[in-house]
Amino acid sequence: MSQQLETPKQKIGYIALVVREYDEAIAFYSEKLGFVLVEDTFLGDKKRWVLMEPPNSTGTRLLLARAAAPEQVTRIGNQTGGRVFLFLHTDDFWRDYNAYVARGVVFRRPPKEETYGTVAVFEDLYGNLWDLLELKQK
């Protein structure tokens, strides 16, 4: 009798986003993007465990990580060398796009219909680039 290998069940739980200060990052993500603060725990030595997620999310969360060393400070706002860093999927592109514009979110590239869906590129408070994306139904 042969043994079947179990397929691991995995997912990416958190993505660390290097920020200048916790409170200003929390304010941007909650007030401008409507994200929910899931956890904010003081860890000592000026460190906090700060998790945020989009509303009604069941996926990956952002771990806001305050830059604590000179090399980390150089990564604030440019974690991917100028490429889009994060992809925020939505079920209603125009609802979210219009809300973000009304809240002062800066869009670097205007909305565009692509073969895969509707997309626009915006920046966060540090300049990291994000796609706001509504995928087409398959």
Q: What is the pLDDT of residues 52-64, one digit of tens each?
A: 999 999 889 999 9
Give the pTM: 0.90
- Domains in the chain and their CATH numbers? 12-76 (3.10.180.10), 80-138 (3.10.180.10)
Q: What digits encode the pLDDT tens for the residues 1-22?
A: 566 788 888 899 999 999 999 9
Q: Do residues 131 and 120 touch, judged by C-beta distance below 8 A?
A: yes
Give the integer Cα–Cα distance in Å for 39 and 22. 12
SS3 content of the chain, % helix, strand, coil (to 5): 20, 40, 40
